[in-house]
Amino acid sequence: MKDIVKVVVDLPLKTINREFDYLLPEKLKSELEVGQIVRVPFGRRKLSAFVTGFKAKTDIKKSKLKEIESLLYKQSFFGDELLKLFYWTAAYYHAYLAQVIKKALPPGITEQKIRKKEVEFLKLNSEITDYKNELDKLKIRAPKQYLILKYLLENSEQKHKLKKVVESAETSRQTVFRLIDKDLITLYTDVEERIPEMNIYLKEADEYNFPLQQQEKELIDQLTDNDSENNSYLLTTENGQRRYNFIIKLLVKLLAEKKNIILLIPEIEKDQIFLAQLNNQFGDNIAFIHSQLSRGERFDQWQQIKNGKVKIAVGARSAIFAPFSELNAVIIMEENNESYKAQEHPLYHARQIAVKRLKKNNSLLLLESPFPSLESQYHALAGEYQQMKLNPKKSKILTKIIDMKKEVEKGNLGDLSQDLITEIKNQLKKNNKIILFLNRRGSANYLICRKCGHVLKCDNCDISLNYHREQHQLRCHYCGLKKEVPDNCPECGSRFISQAGVGTEKIIEQLKTLYQDLKIVRVDSDLKERVVKQRLKNFKKGEIDILVGTSILIKNQFYDQLKFLAVISADTALNSSDFRAAENNYSLLMELKSLLLNKSDSKFWLQSYDPDHYSIQAALAPDKYSFYQKEIKIRKQRNYPPFCRLLNIIISAEAEEKAAAQSKKLSTFLDNYKDKYLEKLGASPAVLSKIRNKYRWQLILKFNSMRNREYIIQLIEKKFIEKNDSDSVEIRIDVDPYQML
C-alpha cells in the first residue's frame, strides 16, 4: 500500500530543494491526490506543501516520519503532465522546484485559502401564484417595495443581485427585508465568478475588425490543416491592426476545431484594446491570467481553465503554465520580446517552455513577430520552424539618416540638427502630426565623441565601456577592464567627449524655444498611466502639434495619417553592454518606422553619431533579411548565441569585498575547465553594480554544448552553492540569459 506521500515544501531554500516524505493519515486516504496543497509540520513550523506523488517504501524509518496535518484545498491544482513540466523546468534552469510550481499556480494560494466569491441574490417566493393583489397594495402603501417586486416579476427569468436591485430602486436593504418578512421574496447566496472588467475599451476594439484577405485565409488554412511532423511556425507579420485581427481569426478557426489554446502577449498592460477584442469575440470561452488581475479574479480565471470551462487562455509569460488537461496550440505574439524571459526566480523563458510542453503531441506552435528574434530566424532557416510571412509590403516611406558629427563641425552642439528643425517647420505648414522619439535605454552611461562619433569601447570585448561618475572611470562589465577617462578622443583627438543621452524634458525645452506657439507635450514612464492615455488620445485627435516620447508611445498604438517621425538619437541602444544591442536597436527602429503611413510623402528621420552602423543602415534596406545576414556573421565570429550556450552568473553581497572575493575564487576554479569545456568572461563588477544595497559581480560563460554547460553548472552548485555556508553571499545562475546586467 502506498501510504507515503511525496511533497515539495513551499520554502525555496537551497538546503531543502527536494521532495520530502510524509505519512498519509487515515482521515485523508480517500481524498489525497497529486497536485493538491496540504499543510505539513516542518521543523518547528507548519508550512504549505505540494503533493507530487505516493510510494510504498522510503529510506527513512516510518517511526520518524511525520503525518500530513490537513488538506488546504480539496481540488488538485496540477496533474502528472504539468508535474513533469515542472520537473524539467526546475532541472533545465536550475531553479527551486517550489518556485516553479508556485509560478504556475494562482498567486497567494499557499499563504491563505482563497475563498470563492459569494453574492446575495433575490428571487420570488415560488409558493405565491398571484402577485397582482400584492402589487396593488404596495403601490399606494410602499412604493419602493412596489418597484422592487414589480422589477422581479418583469424579469423573473434572470438572477438578481441584491445590491443591483437596491440600487435600481434607489432604496435601502431594509426595504428588501420588509418584502422578505412578508414572504413575498427570498434572499439566497450563490457563488459568482470574478470576471475582469474591460468595458471601457469595447468601442475602440470594434474599430479593428477586418474581413480576411485571401493570403490571410490561406495562412490560417495552412496552420490549422497541417499533418506534417513539423507543426512549429515562425510567422513574420507587418506591425499594425491587421496582425491582431489575423490572430483573432486564427483563434476562431482553432476554436471551431475544439482546440485548447494558450495565447501569450508580452506586455498585457499596454494591450488593453486587444484584450477587449478577444473578450468581445470569445466571451465565455476565454480566460485571462495576468498580474493586473486581483488575486480573486486570477484564481477564478485559472479555475475556469482547470475545470475545462474555457478553451483559450490569454496572458503574459507565466500563462504558458495554464492548466489545460490537453494543450493543442500555443501562439506567442512578439516572440522576440525579452519580457518572455523572467528576471526573477525561476529564470525561465516562456518560449522554451512552450517548445518543451508541445513536443510530445505535435501540437501547433506559432511564434509571431513583425521582427523575429535572430535566434528564431536561425532555427527557422535550419528547418526547426516553418517560415511564413503575413501581408509583406514594400515600404514607400522615405528614410533619412542625419550625421550628427557634421552638426558639431558646423558649430551646432544641440540635440536637434538644423535639417530636423527645418523639416519640423515644413511638416507643421502641412498640418501634419509630428512624433520625436527618444530611447532612454542605455542612455547616459557611456561616453561619446560628439565630433567623430567614436564611442569608447573595451579593447577585449568590442562592447561600450560604462562610465562610472563617482570614480570618473570607464569599466567593461564583461572582462573587467578599467580605464581612466581620456581628456581627448583617442580616435580624432578632439575634446568634445561627453556623456551620451538626453531626456524628454530637455528636448521639450529646446522645442519650445524654437516653436513658442505650438502645443508640445511628452509621454514617458515618469507620467501616470491616465495622463499618458489622455495625451495620446489628444495627439490622435489633432490637439497636440508635437509629441515627444519614449517606448511607451509604441505599444499597440496606431496613429492614423502619421507622416513624420524622427528619432533623436538612433544609436543610443547600441551602446548597452549587451551582445543583442544591434538587434534590439534594429527592431526598435523598424517598429517606429511601422507607425508611419506607408506612403511616399511619409518621412522617417534618424539622427546618429554612428550613421554607418549596420543596424541603422538596415532601416534603409527594402527587406528585413539584410540585417540578419550581417548580424549572424558577427555572432558567429564572436561566439554568441545561437552559436553557443550562454550562462550568466551573478555573485552578490552587502559587502563588496565578499562579492569580489567569491567571484574571483569561482573564476579561478573555472580556469581549470577553460580549454576543454568553456570560454570565460570576467569576473568583473556587473553593469548594475549595486542593487538593493547589494554589490554585484558577474561571470559570463560560453559553451559549445548543453552537456558541457550542465556539467559545469553541477560543479558550481556542488562546490560553491551547496557548500556555501554564508547567507551573506548569493550566487545566481541564469541559463540562456537575455539581460546581461
Q: What is the pLDDT of residues 487-530, one digit of tens each?
A: 889 888 888 887 766 667 778 888 888 888 889 998 887 778 78
Pairwise pLDDT comparison (273 vs 716), residue with the higher score: 716
Give the pLDDT band of residue 444 (cuts 50, 70, 90). very low
Q: Do the domains at 223-389 and 645-735 have one common CATH topology?
A: no
Percent of the chain with pLDDT over 70: 92
User: Mean pLDDT across the stretch 341-355?
Assistant: 95
Give the pLDDT score at 379: 96
* Per-residue CA distances from 407 to 351, 488, 607 (Å): 44, 19, 10
Give per-residue pLDDT as tens, 664-703.
Answer: 999 999 999 998 899 999 899 988 788 878 899 999 999 9
Q: Which of 25-39, 116-130, 211-225 has the lowest mean pLDDT?
A: 116-130
Q: How far is CA 265 from the centre of its chain?
A: 7
CATH architecture for the domain at 223-389 = 3-Layer(aba) Sandwich (3.40)
Instruction: Copy the grid coordinates of residue 687.
Output: 553593469
DSSP code string of 176-208: HHHHHHTTSEEEEEEE-------GGGHHHHHTT
Global pTM value = 0.83
Three-state DSSP class for residue 53: strand
What strands, in cross-sheet order, belong to the sheet with 20-23? 20-23, 4-9, 45-55, 37-42, 70-71
Give per-residue pLDDT as tens, 543-586.
Answer: 999 999 888 888 656 777 899 999 999 988 887 778 999 999 99
63: number of Cβ within 10 Å:
6
CATH architecture for the domain at 398-443+501-634 = 3-Layer(aba) Sandwich (3.40)
Q: How far is CA 221 from the centre of its chain?
A: 29
381: number of Cβ within 10 Å:
13
9: number of Cβ within 10 Å:
21
39: nearest Cα among 8, 69, 73, 75: 69
Fold category of 118-191 in CATH: Arc Repressor Mutant, subunit A (1.10.10)
Give the pLDDT band of residue 204 (cuts 50, 70, 90). low
Q: Which of 240-254, 372-386, 390-404, 492-506 has the lowest mean pLDDT?
A: 492-506
Strand 364-369 with 482-484, pairing: unpaired
Percent of the chain with pLDDT over 90: 50
What strands, in cross-sheet order, belong to the sheet with 466-468? 466-468, 473-475, 482-484
Backbone angles phi, psi at 677, to 5 degrees: -115, -30
Pairwise pLDDT comparison (420 vs 194), residue with the higher score: 420
8 A C-beta contact, residue 369 and residue 339: no
Q: Is the pLDDT of residue 477 over 70?
A: no
Give the pLDDT score at 206: 58
Q: Is the pLDDT of residue 442 over 60?
A: no
User: Mean pLDDT across the stretch 727-741?
Assistant: 89
Q: Is the pLDDT of residue 643 over 70?
A: yes
- CATH class of the structural domain 4-104: alpha beta
H or E stretch covering 223:
helix 214-224
Cβ-based burial of 442 (10 A; exposed 0-12, middle 13-18, buried ≥19): buried
Fold category of 645-735 in CATH: Alpha-Beta Plaits (3.30.70)
Give the pLDDT score at 166: 77
Give per-residue pLDDT as tens, 87-97.
Answer: 999 999 999 99
- 644: annotated binding-site residue? no
Give the pLDDT score at 400: 96
DSSP code string of 434-447: EEEE---TTTTSSE
Give the pLDDT score at 180: 82
Strand 473-475 with 466-468, pairing: antiparallel
Q: Which of 44-48, 336-340, 501-505, 526-530 has the lowest mean pLDDT?
A: 501-505
Three-state DSSP class for residue 568: coil
Instruction: Copy the grid coordinates of residue 700.
Output: 559570463
- 492: annotated binding-site residue? yes
Q: How far is CA 521 from the centre of its chain?
A: 28
363: number of Cβ within 10 Å:
19
User: Mean pLDDT across the stretch 420-425?
Assistant: 95
Give the pLDDT band of residue 200 (cuts 50, 70, 90). very low
User: Mean pLDDT across the stretch 50-76?
Assistant: 90
Give the start-to-end residue ranges of the domains of the chain: 4-104, 118-191, 223-389, 398-443+501-634, 445-499, 645-735
**535 Cβ neighbours under 8 A, 6+ residues apart:** 521, 523, 527, 544, 547
Give the pLDDT score at 586: 95
Rg of the chain, C-alpha, whole Å: 30
H helices of 577-624, in order, are 581-593, 614-617
Q: What gap in Å lies between CA 101 and CA 96, rounded to an integer? A: 9
Give the pLDDT score at 462: 63
User: Mean pLDDT across the stretch 194-220?
Assistant: 71
Asked whether the CA dihedral 233, 580, 716, 8 is positive or negative, the reply is negative
Q: Is the pLDDT of residue 445 over 70?
A: no
Question: How many C-alpha atoms does 394 have within 13 Å on its Cβ side?
Answer: 1
Pairwise pLDDT comparison (179 vs 685), residue with the higher score: 685
Residue-averaged pLDDT of the chain: 87
Give per-residue pLDDT as tens, 581-600.
Answer: 999 999 999 999 989 998 99
**493 Cβ neighbours under 8 A, 6+ residues apart:** none
